[in-house]
Amino acid sequence: MKRAGWQVLETSSRRLNKRYRRERRLKALGILAILIALGVLALLLGSVIERSYPAFVKTEIALDLNISSTLVKPDNPAKGKYGKIIRNALFDIFPKVNKRTERRELLALISRGAHFELRRMVRDEPELIDTVQRVWLTASSDVDMLVKGSMPREVPESERRLNDRQLAWLDALEEKGQLQTTFNGRFFTGSDSREPELAGIGGALAGSFWTLLITLVLAFPLGVAAAIYLQEFAPKNRITDFIEVNINNLAAVPSIVFGLLGLVIFIQLFELPRSTAVVGGLTLMLMTLPTIIISTRAALSAVPPSIREAAHGIGASPVQVVSHHVLPLALPGIMTGTIIGMARALGETAPLLMIGMVAFIVDIPSAPFDSATALPVQIFLWADSPERGFVEKMSAAIIVLLAFLILMNALAVYLRRRFETRW
Amino acid sequence: MQLFILLVALGAIAALGYFFARRKLLIAAGKTLVRPHSMPGYHGWYVALWCALPSLVVVLAWLLFEERILEALLITYLGPEIASQPANMLGLLLNDIRNLSAGDALSRDVDPALQDAADRYASLRTTARAALMGGGIALGVAGLTWSWYRVQPAFRARYGVERVIKSLLIIASFVAVVTTVGIILSVLFESIRFFSIVSVGDFLFGLEWSPQTAIREDQVGSSGAFGAVPLFTGTLLITLIAMVVALPIGLFSAIYMSEFATPGLRNAVKPVLEILAGVPTVVYGFFAALTVAPALRDMGAGLGLDVASESALAAGAVMGIMIIPFISSLSDDAMVAVPRSLREGSLAIGATKSETVIKVILPAALPGIVAACLLAISRAIGETMIVVMAAGLAAKLTANPLDAVTTVTTQMVTLLVGDQEFDSAKTLAAFALGLALFLATLALNVLALYIARKYREQYE
């Protein structure tokens, strides 16, 4: 008897152990899943950050430039032979370099846009003509990446973009103190360029700004008005049900389809100019509208009925009830929803590709009708470029984009925390 | 500029109307013993709305159709022999005339006839704008006068204002409907044009996709093939990989978060997981193309496998990461919504927590979880940037995840980016793909909503 009872206990405890093991296994799987998700997020951000920080620094080479009046006419400094000035200064440092190919290699150290920098400098200060100036010029992308360590020095010459001679020249420049790295302000103010060392996100930021401005100006009033009607005034009937289902479905339509819509309606039908912030803003407005409507309705329905009834009770008309009481109380929630919708619009790329905001644009747009591109589209454009120097630019642009998104979301969270009322 | 002046003028008229109507009412009310029906502000608003609204509507309508009307007038001016030439030649000519009158560069030499037409166009435009400005202001003043006489203490101005506000609200809520109708019509019409060139059967069941169209008649390989099956299979393959990645991770983390985690951990981890849904897709594309794809290729080379540098695996895995939060959040919500009594009943008869989860909560929450998966799939099908940046361009009919495949959205982008004519089969194909995409995602969403709604009724 005793023995049998013990056996029963043993089998049941064995079974119990098995069940507990299963319990632990499920728990471990859950933790593992969460850790994988968090790990991937960390890997994603890490890989972007790791690649990005070189872009905030740029390499410069100092040259003693002889800006003689034979090469730059004092009466017309915009049309000088600035390339020649730079070439002469560079050849003066390395007088032994005579062969054509070698000279070309030497010139490849300086950015192709350097003579534009020099021209701007002389145009702004014509007194510089007929003086010798030590000027820090932007180095070419290959030099930049080598100095910042993005391109290893130790690999065999054939696998390097710069050969041994060029490395020797760079070392010589560095010894003389003519090579430095500084903060790359141009990255934030400049516009797109074919040369990675000159490219910046200024133009894309301006484009995103105009696009989002149009989106906000149109989507906020329209979305709030639609939500107020549906939540506060609409009778419950087939039409309003249809509108409601419609809005929910619109929120789930892939963004690229909105791009098709923008292409047909705004560009083909209304003949608005292609690639402009106006069309981008209108398209993103249609995409953001459902988000704003849904979150505004949620905010309105969170206002307790007692407030409405009290206002009705002292004689307010339905419009007055909403505009004087319900809407102000729901405003923090509406703002939060709007900011989140705008954040999504800021990160959106696909519809903008459809309406042609994907062009190479050198001018910084200053109005909604200028050709423009947006920050995420700029990232995509750089991703398509073969030059390796664009990888760091792209990563840095992503960092800027993420910074804006974090800022907007933080603002939304702050608004919610600060003004949220629990009824 | 003229428009700006017009808007400012209208604003000024409306503001004047507001203040003087208020004043008029206050003075009139002071003279009688009758209490005015509406507050003075409503009278002000009534007049202001009458000043601004009709004229704004007219201006907006004109601006929408200005180009078309001017074009029609110009064509009648040019005479029948020019008007009768083919549409694309006429379009080119009109474009040149427009550019010439704006002072831009031209694609042809300027002859006197062209110059004359350009001058005519410019004068038409100036006249039209001047008329618009005069008409707009006149309409504003007319509205002012008409409403001004109605401002009396007995007049029910508030009703008028509130009616206008309500109609504006109704119009706003119809924008959503107009958008849907716009999507359907625009995509449908372009698709119908496409299907008049390529038959529906060839598109839906054709096995070859090479969207070239001939520039010349006798060109080699001029007949483009528009069989979309490789695109559909490519999309499904990538979506399948994404779900294989996202489903276990999302589901197990949802189980842990809803059943095992302490509230503190839950509040900390849930927002962090939702960051994954907030990261712009272009960033995922970057991650897939520059980090995951090379890593997979190197790993494949190490194992002796031939992994394409634009493998479906890389794009699918990264897409899976993107949709984790959809599955985890929605499944979490579904599991939390399972009534306490079910959970407690199971625990009370001696089941462990994991047995409760697997045998009670998961079955009860299944409709919600299925809906979450459907939404995630619809999200994955419509996702564009990851596949544009990390998936291939060549349409290949394969089920090998290590191979490069292309997707519906990738092809839509490649077909439409760049300057294209709007009527070639190549561009129109993008709309047919868009229609297929729209219908597929719509069906998935409706199905998800249906399943979720049916489930909700079970416990209430």
Q: What is the pLDDT of residues A143-176, one digit of tens each?
A: 888 888 777 778 887 777 888 888 888 888 888 8
How far out from the chain centre does Cα B26 lie?
49
Q: Is the pLDDT of residue A77 over 80?
A: no
Cβ atoms A60, A181 nearer than 8 A: yes
pLDDT at position B67 is: 75
C-beta atoms of A257 and B187 within 8 A: yes
Task: Mark whether A172 and A211 lie in a shared domain.
Answer: no
Cβ atoms B360, A31 nearer than 8 A: no
pLDDT at position B216 is: 55
Pick the last residue of a domain from A126, A151, A184.
Answer: A184
Contacts for A381 with CB less than 8 Å, ≥ 6 apart: A192, A358, A360, A373
pLDDT band at residue A3 under the 50/70/90 scheme: low
Average pLDDT value over all residues in chain A: 87
Of B381, B13, B33, B15, nearest to A255 (Cα)? Answer: B381
C-beta atoms of A41 and B275 within 8 A: yes
Burial of A155-187, coded b for 16+ CB within 10 Å and e otherwise, reads: eeeeebebeeebeebbeebeeeebbeeeebebb
Kindly write down the DSSP assignment for every residue of B272-303, as one continuous string: HHHHHHHS-HHHHHHHIIIIIHHHHHHHHHHT
Pick the last residue of a domain from A131, A155, A184.
Answer: A184
Whether residue A404 is contained in a domain is answered as yes
Pick the last residue of a domain from A153, A184, A215.
Answer: A184
Q: Is the pLDDT of residue A39 over 80?
A: yes
pLDDT band at residue B39 under the 50/70/90 scheme: confident
pLDDT band at residue A199 under the 50/70/90 scheme: confident
C-beta atoms of A22 and B179 within 8 A: no
3-state secondary structure of A366: coil
Minimal CA separation from B166 to chain A, in Å: 7
Minimal CA separation from A223 to chain B, in Å: 7
Q: What is the mean pLDDT of residues A407-422?
A: 84
Q: What is the pLDDT of residues B223-258, one digit of tens each?
A: 578 888 999 999 999 999 999 999 999 999 999 999
C-beta atoms of A229 and B169 within 8 A: yes
Q: What is the mean pLDDT of residues A237-266?
A: 88
Q: What is the pLDDT of residues B268-314, one digit of tens each?
A: 888 888 888 889 999 999 999 988 998 998 998 888 888 888 889 99
Q: A227 contacts in B (CB within 8 Å)? A: 173
3-state secondary structure of A63: strand
Q: What is the mean pLDDT of residues B324-346?
A: 90
* Rg, chain B, Cα only: 32
Q: A33 contacts in B (CB within 8 Å)? A: 248-253, 256
pLDDT at position A366 is: 85
Angle at B187 between CA B184 and CA B188, to 5 degrees: 75
C-beta atoms of B249 and A33 within 8 A: yes
Cβ atoms B220, A4 nearer than 8 A: no
Q: A208 contacts in B (CB within 8 Å)? A: none
Cβ atoms B233, B399 nearer than 8 A: yes
Least-confidence region, from A282-286, B13-17, B97-101, B383-387: B97-101
CATH number of B225-459: 1.10.3720.10
pLDDT at position B243 is: 96
Cβ atoms A190, A200 nearer than 8 A: yes
Amino acid at B371: A
Check: pTM over 0.95? Answer yes or no. no
pLDDT at position B217 is: 53
Q: For an interface test with A, give the residue of B166, B272, B283, B387 to mutate (most A CBs within 10 A).
A: B283
* Separation between Cα atoms, residue B233 and residue A354, nearest integer Å: 23
ipTM value of the model? 0.88
pLDDT band at residue A311 under the 50/70/90 scheme: very high
Q: Is the pLDDT of residue A307 over 90?
A: yes
pLDDT: which is higher, B206 or A26: A26
Q: A254 contacts in B (CB within 8 Å)? A: 378, 381-384, 409, 437-438, 441
C-beta atoms of A256 and B434 within 8 A: yes
Of A117, A191, A113, nearest to A370 (Cα)? Answer: A191
Q: What is the mean pLDDT of residues B346-356?
A: 92
Task: Mark whether A211 and A139 lie in a shared domain.
Answer: no
Whether residue A180 is contained in a domain is answered as yes
Task: Mark whether A243 and A96 lie in a shared domain.
Answer: no
Whether residue A47 is contained in a domain is answered as no
Assign residue A373 the CATH number of its domain: 1.10.3720.10
pLDDT at position B419 is: 59
Q: What is the mean pLDDT of residues A387-402?
A: 89
Distances in whole angstroms, Cα of residue B354 to Cα of each of A24, A86, B328, B362: 8, 74, 18, 10
Annotated domain spans of chain B:
2-155, 225-459
How far out from the chain centre does Cα B79 lie?
41
- DSSP label at A235? -
Q: Is the pLDDT of residue A368 over 90?
A: no
* Separation between Cα atoms, residue B337 and residue B341, nearest integer Å: 11
Q: What is the pLDDT of residues A345-362, one digit of tens each?
A: 999 999 999 888 888 888
Task: Mark whether A221 and A281 lie in a shared domain.
Answer: yes
Which candidate from B162, B286, B388 shows the least CB-CB separation from A394? B286
* Separation between Cα atoms, residue A379 and residue A204, nearest integer Å: 9
- Quote the domain boundaries for residue A336: 202-419
pLDDT band at residue B106 under the 50/70/90 scheme: low
Structure tokens that stand for B124 in this block: 């038409």
Q: What is the pLDDT of residues A19-31, one digit of tens each?
A: 999 999 999 999 9
Whether residue A92 is contained in a domain is answered as yes
pLDDT band at residue B197 under the 50/70/90 scheme: confident
3-state secondary structure of B83: helix
pLDDT at position A36 is: 94
* Separation between Cα atoms, residue B428 and residue B435, nearest integer Å: 11
Contacts for A212 with CB less than 8 Å, ≥ 6 apart: A281, A284, A342, A345, A346
Task: Mark whether A162 and A303 lie in a shared domain.
Answer: no
pLDDT at position B108 is: 65
% of residues, chain A, pLDDT over 90 = 36
pLDDT at position A227 is: 93
Q: Is the pLDDT of residue B460 over 60?
A: no
- Report the residue of chain B nearest A46, measured CA to CA: B287
C-beta atoms of B162 and A317 within 8 A: yes
Greatest mean pLDDT among A75-79, A211-215, A234-238 lies in A211-215
Whether residue A127 is contained in a domain is answered as yes
pLDDT: which is higher, A297 or A78: A297
Match 């049900």 to its residue by tokens: A241
Match 């989002």 to its residue by tokens: A212
Greatest mean pLDDT among A70-84, A302-316, B15-29, B107-121 lies in A302-316
Of A379, A279, A292, A225, nearest to B173 (Cα)? Answer: A225
Cβ atoms A140, A109 nearer than 8 A: yes
Q: What is the mean pLDDT of residues A183-210?
A: 88
Task: Mark whether A180 and A264 lie in a shared domain.
Answer: no
C-beta atoms of A229 and B285 within 8 A: no
C-beta atoms of B273 and A47 within 8 A: no
CB atoms within 10 A of CB B252: 23
Whether residue A220 is contained in a domain is answered as yes
Per-state percent for chain A, helix, strand, coil, to nearest 5: 70, 5, 25
Task: Mark whether A241 and A390 lie in a shared domain.
Answer: yes
Cβ atoms A360, A192 nearer than 8 A: yes
Whether residue A270 is contained in a domain is answered as yes
CB atoms within 10 A of CB B119: 13
Q: Is the pLDDT of residue B220 over 60?
A: no
Cβ atoms B297, B404 nearer than 8 A: no
Task: Mark whether A287 and A411 lie in a shared domain.
Answer: yes
Whether residue A151 is contained in a domain is answered as yes
pLDDT at position A113 is: 82
* Separation between Cα atoms, residue A89 and residue A65, nearest integer Å: 6
Task: Mark whether A158 and A68 lie in a shared domain.
Answer: yes
* Separation between Cα atoms, residue B333 and residue A281, nearest integer Å: 34
Task: Mark whether A401 and A260 lie in a shared domain.
Answer: yes
Residues, chain A? 423
* Separation between Cα atoms, residue B252 and residue B259, nearest integer Å: 10
Q: How many domains does chain A have?
A: 2
pLDDT band at residue A2 under the 50/70/90 scheme: low
Distances in whole angstroms, Cα of residue B406 to Cα of each of B228, B233, B282, B377, B384: 11, 9, 17, 17, 11
Of A411, A393, A390, nearest to A401 (Cα)? Answer: A393
Cβ atoms B91, B50 nearer than 8 A: no
* Separation between Cα atoms, residue B309 and residue B307, nearest integer Å: 6
Greatest mean pLDDT among A106-115, A187-196, A261-270, B377-386 lies in B377-386
Task: Mark whether A314 and A174 lie in a shared domain.
Answer: no
Task: Mark whether A136 and A218 lie in a shared domain.
Answer: no
Minimal CA separation from B254 to chain A, in Å: 8
Q: B446 contacts in A (CB within 8 Å)? A: 249
